[in-house]
Amino acid sequence: MSMDYRNVVFALAALLPGLLLAGCESTPPTPYYAELTFSHLRPIRLDVARVEVATRYVPPLTSPNVEHRSPVPPYTAIRRWAGQRLKAAGRRYSANLVILDASIKGVPVGMKGGMKNIFTREQSIRYDGRVAVLLEILDGGGRQLAFVTARASRSVTVAEGASIVAREKVWFALTEDMLGELNRRLEREIRRHFRDYMVGG
């Protein structure tokens, strides 16, 4: 073995561990959806001793419902909204947020026939999202003193053959849009009808 060839072998041997280490390292994948949060909004301070969340909506966990497959199901987002926006700032009464609807359903869209359909990909499914809540103020005996309701809905179609990742993005965007609208409507109704039960305006 010549001196030059031996030097090349030694150089490669010295570089090999670093190359292997670099190959083992990987950058953590970036989430394809942002965190759905309401912590950047000013809390709504209510003259109640506690805020509770209940639900009348039970996810069926089967088709055509898909909300349980969403990265952030609507019912999870509603609970997060209540925890981040509604603050108990009193010593009596209680606030009760009831989830009435928090669904996303897949509705088949009719496919057109003919030669054109062979070469084009048409919309094949529509996802209908709905959220609805009741927020009430109760006295110590459970009597309703005031209440507001709010709801929001969105629909979007997805192309035939869309991947599960693409569908999850759609479900997340659907939930984000609905909660944004629900937040605006709830805050408006709360400020209109809960004036006697708000602290600090």
pLDDT at 111: 56
In tens, the pLDDT along 85-98 reads 999 999 999 999 99
pLDDT at 121: 53
pLDDT at 166: 94
Average pLDDT for the chain: 85
* CATH architecture observed for domain 3-197: 2-Layer Sandwich (3.30)
Regions of the chain with pLDDT less than 70 = 1-34, 111-123, 201
Q: Which residue, 54, 148, 39, 48, is CA-closest to 88?
A: 48
Q: Counting runs of H as helices and runs of E as strands, what totals does the chain give?
A: 4, 6
The one-character DSSP state at 93 is: -
pTM: 0.79
CA 77 to chain CA centroid, Å, is: 5
pLDDT at 8: 42
Distance CA(123)–CA(106), nearest Å, equals: 12
pLDDT at 32: 55
Domain extents in the chain: 3-197
pLDDT at 200: 87
